[in-house]
Amino acid sequence: MENQRLFIWALFGLMAFMTWTAWQQDYAPRPQPAPSGQSPERSAERLPPDAALDTALPEVGDVPVLDRPDEDAAAQPGDGVAEPAETRVRVVTDVLEVLISSRGGDIVSAVTLGYPVEKDRPDDLIQVLNPSPDELAVFRTGLRTVSGDGDRPEPNHRAEFIAERNEYRLGDGEDALEVALTWERDDGLSVTKTYRFERGSYIIPVEQRVTNGTADTWAAAPYGQIAHRMHTQERSMFDVATYSYDGPVLYNGESYKKISPDDLQDDGPVQARAENGWLAAIEHHFLSAIVPPPGQEYRYDFTARGDNFLASTIGPAYSFAPGETGSVDMTLFVGPKIQDQLTQVADTLKLTVDYGFLTILSQPLFWLLDKVHDFVGNWGWSIIIVTLLIKLVFYKLTETSGRSMAKMRKLQPRLKTIQERYKDDRQKLSQAMMELYKREKVNPAAGCLPILVQMPFFLAFYWVLLESVEMRQAPFMLWIQDLSSRDPLFILPVLMGAAMFGQQKLNPAPPDPVQAKVMSILPIVFTVFFAFFPAGLVLYWLTNTLLSIAQQWQINRVVEAEDRKTRVPKAKGKKGGDGD
């Protein structure tokens, strides 16, 4: 079997199979919603967002009560509480524009400044959080009474909070901005919820400071929730981003899990307990996450009803004696999956950058790519340099495959002669070819192992380029101004096809004419296929192909030189020793 044919088909086949398997396991297409007026099986009726979600909030009956208010938890709001009129506080930093609702003092809208939906529409920005029922995605935080308060009002996400003003801006020269909202009860219990926004950061610490001015001990559990609309996304074979997972995820302290909204609807709620965990709602390059403080056991609940899902976390409650003041903290993250910032919140939060089953390889590759980018300042050149580094690491390994191809190329005329001689006898043909391989010390399968060893690294790099937000809409040079979009002039795919054609000329052609024709059209097939892929991926593949050509050309020269050295001394020996 010719190594070139093995390489191309193995690369294409393994990529297709492994990608298809991963997509089927993690991102299987979701059922389409039934048309208006129809009721699909096991599907609840469509309800308003709050009504659909409030019925699935976690209970607080099993929450332990601690003596001091150091850590966080989560709970549910009281039912039947009338909702006051809502006002919203606008907060603008250098990277975010958010709206905080007076109802619950919760962040209900978050727009990422500098991240447009399309690069040619800079004013149409990505909105990660949205209070609209059709695009519902909001944070909810609050405190739920556990004991010592009866049925009195509590500072949950339905309570009314008051801010000092309606707009806050991070001023020039300021590194941080704090926004405080206050809830008070007529008996002296008050809670101040304070958000801290820092320059250049998507991390939002939130502190809930309790002042118990009552005559009784008050115990309460802080909680965090993400209420989110379930999205049905149309998949496109020409847009790999449409296959990225969109939904809730959980880190349970040991492993990272995707909680399928469809499974929640079909199989019911999911619950887990863990220390050092967190929950999030993710999409391709963006996420909203709630990270409780470490060191305490928290309960995580995931429910779905109608068109929404709700991810909640609840942990230990804290007891506040009369006259006591204390605070509980939680960390929110909303924005692009910038890995440096994710690891500042929790090292495991970078798992939301969904490299799939190749994370163990993709994470080091991204680290290398990021370090190169810090030096060169351009993601396109970083892709080229890292591809070169990968080639250098595997050079000795791939040299085995290259030498086998070079020797097979030299044997092509003799193989054709054997094929003509035994074209009607397959058994003798195979025997004669094997004798030739043995006599010339050529193993046609010698390149299999190096290719298979490299394959996971190539696929891991593929997912790094696809999933890393750092390369989203990043410019390269000339006509390539967005590495995350397809080449607008299709120049890179054409160059890649031409490079593949040149690579074929350096390698042995298949002896079978039918196989040879199939191989000859593969550059055209790949050109069309890659024409719709992001330019960064095509740049990587083109660079890899050109480096493979250079490597094979050099190996061919070395093998030819070695062959000449073995022939010349024999000819001189005949002339002198035998007297011919």
Least confident of 281-285, 325-329, 442-446, 492-496: 442-446
Cα dist. 515→6, 9, 233, 460 in Å?
Answer: 12, 12, 39, 30
Tens digits of residue pLDDT in 430-458: 777 777 667 766 666 555 555 676 678 77
Q: Which phi and psi (to 5°) does residue 95 adopt?
A: -125, -15
d(CA 422, CA 394): 39
Q: Which is more confidently placed, 564 or 214?
A: 214
Nearest 5 degrees, angle CA 140-CA 146-CA 151? 90
Is the pLDDT reported for residue 487 higher than 60?
Answer: yes
In the 8-state DSSP scheme, what is residue 29?
P
Nearest 5 degrees, angle CA 482-CA 488-CA 492? 85
Contacts of 565 (CB under 8 A, 6+ apart): none
Query: Can you read off the two tokens belonging to residue 293?
Result: 């403080």
In the 8-state DSSP scheme, what is residue 103?
B
Find out if CATH 2.70.98.90 is the number for domain 45-354: yes
Query: Can you read off the two tokens belonging to residue 559?
Result: 């093998």
Determine the distance from the C-alpha atom of residue 207 to the mean position of all C-alpha atoms in its chain, rounded to a whole number. 30
Tell me the average pLDDT across 138-154. 81
| pLDDT score of 211 | 92
d(CA 455, CA 15): 8
| pLDDT score of 560 | 66
Exposure string over 297-335, b if 16+ CB within 10 A, otherwise e: bbbbbbbbbbbbbbbbbbbbbbbbeeeeebbbbbbbbbb
Tell me the average pLDDT across 204-227. 90
Q: Residue 230 in 3-state DSSP?
A: coil
Least confident of 330-339, 521-530, 559-568: 559-568
Tens digits of residue pLDDT in 383-436: 999 989 888 887 777 766 666 666 666 666 676 676 667 666 677 777 777 776
pLDDT band, very low/low/confident/very high, at 76 (cuts 50, 70, 90): very low
Least confident of 353-367, 510-524, 562-576: 562-576
| pLDDT score of 235 | 52
DSSP tally for the chain: helices H, then strands E: 13, 21
Is the pLDDT reported for residue 191 higher than 90?
Answer: yes
Taking the CA atoms of residue 311, residue 197, residue 157 and residue 262 in that order, the dihedral angle to the nearest 10 degrees is: -20
| pLDDT score of 148 | 59
Taking the CA atoms of residue 68, residue 70, residue 72 and residue 73 in that order, the dihedral angle to the nearest 10 degrees is: -20
| pLDDT score of 90 | 94
Pairing of strands 65-66, 247-251: unpaired
Which has the closest alpha carbon to 158: 147, 176, 172, 144?
144
Is the pLDDT reported for residue 57 higher than 70?
Answer: no
Contact 529, 236 (CB under 8 A): no
Contacts of 321 (CB under 8 A, 6+ apart): 212, 217
Tens digits of residue pLDDT in 241-283: 555 778 888 998 888 888 887 788 778 888 888 888 999 998 8
| pLDDT score of 205 | 95
Which has the closest alpha carbon to 364: 298, 427, 456, 443?
456
| pLDDT score of 207 | 94
Q: Which is more confidently placed, 201 or 267?
A: 201
- pTM, two decimals, is 0.74
> For all residues of the chain together, what is the average pLDDT?
75
Tell me the average pLDDT across 504-524. 66
d(CA 101, CA 144): 18
Least confident of 149-153, 218-222, 342-346: 149-153
Task: Count CB neighbours of 368 within 10 A.
Answer: 17
Tens digits of residue pLDDT in 161-182: 999 999 999 988 889 999 999 9
Contact 503, 525 (CB under 8 A): no
| pLDDT score of 84 | 56
Region(s) of the chain under CATH 2.70.98.90: 45-354
Task: Count CB neighbours of 397 within 10 A.
Answer: 14
Which has the closest alpha carbon to 353: 432, 262, 251, 277?
251
Measured on CA atoms in the order 242, 247, 253, 256, is the torsion positive or negative?
A: negative
